[in-house]
Amino acid sequence: MHFKLKILPLTGIDCSNDIYRITTRTCIDDLVDSIKNVGLINPPLLRKDKAGYIIVSGFRRLAACSCLEWSTIEARIIVPEKTELDYVKYAITDNALQRPLNLIEQSRALKMLSSFFSDDEGLVEVSNILGLPGNPTIIKKTESICHLPWPIQQGILSNMISFSMALELGKFARETGISLAKLFCDYKLSLNKQMEVITLIKEISAREQISPQEIMQSDHFQDIMNDSDLDRVQKAEKIKFYLNQRRFPEITKAKQKLHKNLKNLKLGSGIKLISPKNFEDTTYTLQLSFKDFDELKDRRTKLDNIIKNPNLKTIMN
DSSP for 244-282, please give it.
Answer: HHHHSHHHHHHHHHHHHHHHHHT--TTEEEEPPGGG-SS
Give CA–CA dist 88/56, Å, rounded. Answer: 8
How many other C-beta atoms are found inside a 10 Å radius of the C-beta of residue 94?
A: 19
In this prediction, residue 279 carries a pLDDT of 64
Among candidate residues 136, 108, 106, 140, the one with its CA nearest the CA of residue 122: 136
Find the distance separating the first CA and the last CA of the chain, reported in whole Å. 80
The architecture CATH gives domain 3-145: Alpha-Beta Complex (3.90)
CA dihedral 43, 46, 48, 49 (to 10 degrees): -140
Could you say which residues of the chain have pLDDT below 70? 1, 251-254, 278-281, 317
| Cis peptide upstream of residue 80 (ω within 30 degrees of 0) | yes
Pairs from 65-73 (Cβ < 8 Å, separation ≥ 24): 65/10, 65/35, 65/40, 66/10, 66/15, 67/28, 67/32, 68/32, 68/35, 68/36, 70/10, 71/9, 71/10, 72/7, 72/8, 72/9, 72/10, 73/7, 73/8, 73/10, 73/13, 73/40, 73/43, 73/44
Phi, psi of 4 (to 5 degrees): -130, 145
Q: Domain ranges in the chain?
A: 3-145, 150-247, 258-316
Mapped onto helix, strand or coil, the DSSP state of residue 115 is: coil
Q: Evaluate if pTM is beyond 0.85.
A: no
In this prediction, residue 148 carries a pLDDT of 97
Give CA–CA dist 22/34, Å, rounded. Answer: 21
Residue 206, classified by CB atoms within 10 Å of its CB into exposed (0-12), middle (13-18) or buried (19+), is exposed
